[in-house]
Structure 1
Amino acid sequence: MRTLMITGPGGSGRSTVAAATALQAAAEGTRTLLLSTDRTDTPGALLGTPTGPAPARVTPHLTVWRPDAPAAFRQDLAAFQQRAANVLDLLGASRLDPEEVTPLPGAEELALLRAIRDAALSDAHDLLVVDLPPAPQALALLALPEELRRYLRRLLPPERQAARALRPVLGRLAGVPMPAEWLYETAARWDVELAAVEAVLGDRRTAVRLVAEPGPAGTDALRAARLGLALRALPVEAVVANRVLPEDTAGSWLAGPVAQQRKALDAWREEYGELRTAPHLGHDPRGLDDLTALAVPAPAPDTPPADWPVTDRIADDGVLVWQIPLPGAVREDIDLVRRGDELVVTAGPCRRVVPLPSALRRCTVEGAGLRDGDLRVRFTPDPDLWPRTP
């Protein structure tokens, strides 16, 4: 299944473009699922069909699903209490009833990630269109599976589970309580679930469509979002300029805003290449006819992946070069730290801890440079670890 995630600055019309994209894909015969976790029924208002926890059919090829995050949180908490029943009883803890539980911060994000996983692994559809939160929250959401898995591996290393039969003995000998079996089992289950989400996000058929309203604020938001997505190795399928005003406004009060939009659109075409545009209808889009009038194209069949190649230049310069695309990055905002077999990359407000490719783990960092939107990190083979040529 192809997955297209849609985000942009708040108020840019992300949900409208997501619904229009899904509708156009369905009109072309693609079995499409539109996924949204909006607390209010925004997709239903746009498409004219009420949506909720049960998937709703809008057209023969378009289905909309809006999972109930609070209900999912209550179910997860009930399941956790059941698994940890012995520990809770030992501590004399009082159980929480599902009716008194309200979602904690992060519950909606985890519910959306789980919904993305479940939808992407289903054979019922060919295209998954995800209406993501605004760009800053979306970037944090997309980073969550990888970061949580890294935390779990550090706190509860999987290799320690091999000694689970010895834990009671080790606990008595060392006099230190050892992690209980249920804790390792819970960590392993979370790791499997997060790995499934990571697989969807890292799939070569997954891409992001960015939406913004032409103007200075939209320009800044697009650059920040594009840089954050590049750091996650998520390709941008298209940039959609939303609510574009008509050009024939000479002599009206709209002449100034139109000129500002035209300037932004010209800059966007130069920076991003082909640009999709959606007109301003003069009112908030409502219903299938309005969404069709936006003429938002269906997603491309595929998008070039965001590869991070390693180039062997040992014969010429004695180094290996790791090329990390970071479009729009500023040299002063780039920071690199080598930590064991990982590289901590910071680009502006975004940071990612990236495992080094196997060949680079046997090297030392010689330096790095930013050129034409590409960060090139140079590695020198460690003579103590690199195979010697006869």
Structure 2
Amino acid sequence: MHRVLVTGLGGAGRTTVAAASALAAASAGRRTLLLSAGTHPVPGVPAGGTPGSPTAVADGLWAARVDTAADFRAEFLDLQDRVSAALDLLGATPFEDEELTELPGSTEFALLRALAGASRGEWDVVVADMPPLDETVALLALPERLRRYLRRLLPPERQAARALRPVLAQLAGVPMPAQWLYETAGRWDTALADVQAAVEDPGTRLTVVAEPGPAAAERLRAARPGLGLFGHAVHAVVANRVVPGDSPDPWAAALAAQQAECLKEWRGAWPPAAVVGALPHLGRDPRDLADLARLAGEPVLAPPAGAGARRGPADPVHGDDGTLVWHLPLPDAVKEEVSLVRRGDELLVTAGPFRRILPLPPVLRRCTVAGAGLADGTLSVRFAPDPGLWPRTR
């Protein structure tokens, strides 16, 4: 299965490109599902329908709008039911289904859960209309981060001592976590693991949409370190709403020249990992399947073929000076905005506004950080073996 996550800059036409990408995959003979969240209309997709249920759009193409409100209510009420005993002791009044409204962030995470659920279906391609680029980078990192928090706050190995909790509570003088807490944490970890597996699968690719110009070019440059740091594979960079270059109108000709210059920069920066292509400006906003079909025929929207590769950290390699070198991809990162902090068996890497905590490979846990350097879009961290942790050789 292939998953195409369509993101990009705000107002660049992500929803249209997502719908056209789904139509392109269906036209290639692949059973395709288009996922979207929110209430905004999707070109070519009939309004109405049952939220969460796929609706046939064209031959081989179905569309489903994630019922984010129902997803939030179900999760909240399930948690409330699990802690009902504690709430009764506190005298709390439980919420009813009809009085619950969504909280910020619930829409995006419901979309990720729907993506994981669709991955278990009989689809060849799932196309998801994602939030803007910066929000998507943070959203795709959320499952990994939340699972780390759960493991730190409620270590799974502590569950082995659940039979001793009454004794431990008396010895420590504090109440021990109840069984329902570990069960809830375990259920959340399983759900997060499903989402993380879908995000990190080699069959998951990003399509990045932007309307070419100086401001868009700068914003994509700023986002590339985050894409590299979290290992997100970009399949295509779509320059949307490109105007013809042969217009006699001086204003249109100047805009076309500016867009062409931006496209030249992107074609020099993104390949070979990503395809860079342009979609023409239709002279109006796309409205129906006929408009989508005009865009779906462009090569840049061709569905991915074969398995992709995660662009996360590679395995450590031996350096010329006896050190071990760990290479981390950070395209377009600025040296002054990159920092490293070693904390136990983890490495905290910051690149501009992006931060990731990476668990060290086992071999590096017995080493100390000996230095780091940034060159050609790669951060190389050198590790020296710690004599106190490495066995001595004769």
**Cα contact 1:34–1:129 (8 A) shared by 2:** yes
1:352 maps onto 2:356 in alignment? yes
**Residue 50 of structure 1, CA deviation:** 4.1
Which residue pairs with 2:6 in the alignment?
Answer: 6
More deviation in 301-310 or 90-99?
301-310
Which residue pairs with 1:20 in the alignment?
Answer: 20
Which residue pairs with 2:119 in the alignment?
Answer: 120
Instruction: Output the CA distance in 1 between the equivalents of 2:10 and 2:170.
Output: 56
AA paired with 2:373? G
AA paired with 1:374? T
Which residue pairs with 1:58 in the alignment?
Answer: 57
**Cα contact 1:308–1:323 (8 A) shared by 2:** yes
Which residue pairs with 1:263 in the alignment?
Answer: 261
Instruction: Output the CA distance in 2 between the equivalents of 1:53 and 1:310.
Output: 41
Find 1:310's aligned residue among 306, 312, 315. 315
More deviation in 48-57 or 259-268?
48-57
Instruction: Output the CA distance in 2 between the equivalents of 1:89 and 1:341.
Output: 42
**Residue 307 of structure 1, CA deviation:** 4.1
Instruction: Output the CA distance in 2 between the equivalents of 1:388 and 1:280.
Output: 67
**Cα contact 1:337–1:345 (8 A) shared by 2:** yes
Instruction: Using structure 1 for the length normalisation, give the TM-score.
Output: 0.95
Deviations 1:319-354 (A, max 9, x none): 111111111111111010001110000011100011
Pairing 1:57-76 to 2, within 5 Å after superposition: 57-76=56-75
Which residue pairs with 2:216 in the alignment?
Answer: 218
More deviation in 259-268 or 278-287?
259-268
**Cα contact 1:5–1:131 (8 A) shared by 2:** yes
More deviation in 321-330 or 173-182?
173-182
1:92 maps onto 2:96 in alignment? no
Instruction: Output the CA distance in 2 between the equivalents of 1:354 and 1:311.
Output: 13
Runs (5+) with no aligned partner, structure 1: none
Instruction: Using structure 2 for the length normalisation, give the TM-score.
Output: 0.94
> Secondary structure of 1:354's match?
strand
**Residue 364 of structure 1, CA deviation:** 0.6
Runs (5+) with no aligned partner, structure 2: none
**Residue 251 of structure 1, CA deviation:** 3.8
**Cα contact 1:47–1:286 (8 A) shared by 2:** no
Find 1:332's aligned residue among 332, 336, 351. 336
**Residue 89 of structure 1, CA deviation:** 1.2
Instruction: Output the CA distance in 2 between the equivalents of 1:367 and 1:50.
Output: 58
**Cα contact 2:20–2:292 (8 A) shared by 1:** yes
Instruction: Output the CA distance in 2 between the equivalents of 1:114 and 1:120.
Output: 10
1:135 maps onto 2:139 in alignment? no
Which residue pairs with 1:39 in the alignment?
Answer: 39
**Cα contact 2:45–2:63 (8 A) shared by 1:** no
Instruction: Output the CA distance in 2 between the equivalents of 1:110 and 1:307.
Output: 23
Identity of aligned residues (%): 54
**Residue 117 of structure 1, CA deviation:** 1.0
AA paired with 1:116? L
Equivalent pairs, count: 386
More deviation in 102-111 or 230-239?
102-111
1:111 maps onto 2:117 in alignment? no
AA paired with 1:4? V
Q: In 2 relative to 1, CA 48–384 (structure 1 residues): closer, same or farther, beyond 3 Å? A: same
**Cα contact 1:226–1:236 (8 A) shared by 2:** no
1:164 maps onto 2:165 in alignment? no
> Secondary structure of 1:329's match?
coil
Instruction: Output the CA distance in 2 between the equivalents of 1:257 and 1:310.
Output: 45
> Secondary structure of 1:254's match?
helix
Which residue pairs with 1:289 in the alignment?
Answer: 290
AA paired with 2:293? T
More deviation in 20-29 or 302-311?
302-311
Instruction: Output the CA distance in 2 between the equivalents of 1:201 and 1:53.
Output: 20
> Secondary structure of 1:46's match?
coil
**Residue 46 of structure 1, CA deviation:** 3.4
> Secondary structure of 1:47's match?
coil
**Cα contact 1:49–1:58 (8 A) shared by 2:** no
Which residue pairs with 1:246 in the alignment?
Answer: 244
**Cα contact 2:30–2:124 (8 A) shared by 1:** yes
**Cα contact 2:38–2:65 (8 A) shared by 1:** yes
How big is the alpha-carbon RMSD for the aligned residues of Structure 1 and Structure 2?
A: 1.5
Deviations 1:130-159 (A, max 9, x none): 111001111111111011111111111111
More deviation in 107-116 or 187-196?
107-116
**Residue 49 of structure 1, CA deviation:** 5.5
**Cα contact 2:371–2:382 (8 A) shared by 1:** yes
Q: In 2 relative to 1, CA 310–291 (structure 1 residues): closer, same or farther, beyond 3 Å? A: same
Deviations 1:75-128 (A, max 9, x none): 112211221121111111101011111111221122112111101122x10111
Instruction: Output the CA distance in 2 between the equivalents of 1:212 and 1:388.
Output: 56
> Secondary structure of 1:253's match?
helix
Instruction: Output the CA distance in 1 between the equivalents of 2:248 and 2:384.
Output: 61
> Secondary structure of 1:248's match?
coil
**Residue 9 of structure 1, CA deviation:** 0.7
**Residue 226 of structure 1, CA deviation:** 2.4
